[in-house]
Amino acid sequence: MTSTPSSSSPHRPGAPAGPGTPSALDPGIAARLKRGADGLLPAIAQQYDTGEVLMLGWMDDEALHRTLTTGRCTYWSRSRREYWVKGDTSGHVQWVKSVSLDCDADTVLVKVDQVGAACHTGARTCFDEDVLKAEEGTPGGADSDVPSLDQ
């Protein structure tokens, strides 16, 4: 089941209110999706040519539809309860190269051409600051000054 945000949640005028509202997403795609109780799917953004994992965002049916049809990543902000197009304010655009579902149809992989930083902190990726485990000889590895869980 999906839930609908409260009527007081902010969103762009004329835009659907968010998870649980009708969408123009192809019904064949929508029928395959396994959404969370909040109506959302995790969406992993990955650099298309290097395989670098950039960030994790959240999409409902409408965000996925917009991503598929505009060529730019659209996400649902769980904190602001509104859609946001990556790069509209920062200029750090994600140009969509491909969109895939995982084997369970509960996660979306969006391969993108990232312009600038993907992370809101200004870092290229959201996954390079807090390394919990790394191979020896790599940042965060046994011969590094970056602490690991087993030290």
pTM over cut 0.85: no
pLDDT of residue 138: 63
Q: Is 119 exposed, middle or buried (0-12, 13-18, 19+ CB in 10 A)?
A: middle
Q: Average pLDDT over the chain, rounded to whole?
A: 85
The domains of the chain, with CATH numbers, are 32-151 (3.10.20.810)
- Percentage of the chain with pLDDT > 70? 79
The token duo for 57 is 């965002």
Q: What is the pLDDT of residues 53-101, one digit of tens each?
A: 999 999 999 999 999 999 999 999 999 999 999 999 999 999 999 999 9
Q: What is the pLDDT of residues 28-53, one digit of tens each?
A: 999 999 999 999 999 999 999 999 99
| Residues contributing to the annotated binding site for Zn(2+) | 103, 119, 126
| Residues contributing to the annotated binding site | 102-104, 106, 119, 126
| Residues contributing to the annotated binding site for Mg(2+) | 102, 104, 106
